Structure 1
Amino acid sequence: MQTHHAKRVVITIEAIMQKRLTDTLEGAGVTGYSILPVLGGSGRSGAWSREGQISRASGMVQVVCIIREERLDGLLEAAFEVVDKHIGVVTITDVEVLRAERF
């Protein structure tokens, strides 16, 4: 089966910044993404968990995008506008996709 090269970008950011991030991505022409809750983890500030939290304000989400390589710089510039001033991590991996016309 024929596969095609693409990039998978995962942006982990505070849940309260989710809308600002997705609005910024959409403004940059990114039309496809998935939003996943992050249940907990550990980082520079130590371990944390969503367990027992009443609101989303202190939680984290991941915004996952799969795009064509030529669109990567635009997505990263848009994401950096939001992530630069807030807690956030951006990762980029190479992926293979079927049906390249969807990306």
Structure 2
Amino acid sequence: MDTHPAKRVEIIIEAIMERRLSEALRKVDVTGYTILPVQGGSGRSGTWSRAGQVGRAQGMLAFVCIVRAERLDTLLDAAFAVVKPHIGVVSITDCEVLRAERF
């Protein structure tokens, strides 16, 4: 089966920022993404859980996007403009997709 190279971008951000990040991605024509709840984790400030330790944000979310490599910089510029002043992590990995026309 033929596969095609792509980039997987994961953005972990405060739940309160969901709408702002969704709008930023849509403005640059990134309309395909999945939003997942984040239960907890550990980072620079120690461990935290969804049970309110992130303050008024009511938890964290993970946005998962898969795009062609040529669209990566546009996505990252839009996402980082939202993430930069807030709690958040952006990661990029190489991946392979089966239906390239969907990305």
TM-score (norm 2): 0.93
TM-score (norm 1): 0.93
- What pairs up with 1:10-21 in 2 under 5 angstroms? 10-21=10-21
Paired residue for 1:85? 85
For residue 56 of structure 1, report the CA deviation from its aligned partner: 7.4
- What pairs up with 1:1-103 in 2 under 5 angstroms? 1-51=1-51, 57-103=57-103
Q: Over aligned residues, Cα RMSD in angstroms?
A: 1.6
For residue 52 of structure 1, report the CA deviation from its aligned partner: 6.6
Unmatched 5+ stretches in structure 2: none
For residue 31 of structure 1, report the CA deviation from its aligned partner: 0.9
* % identical equivalent positions: 70
Instruction: Tell me which stretches of 4 or more aligned residues in structure 1 moved more than 2 Å.
Output: 55-58
Unmatched 5+ stretches in structure 1: none
When residues 56 and 102 of structure 1 are mapped into structure 2, their CA distance, relative to the original with a 3 A threshold, is farther
For residue 76 of structure 1, report the CA deviation from its aligned partner: 0.3
For residue 44 of structure 1, report the CA deviation from its aligned partner: 1.1
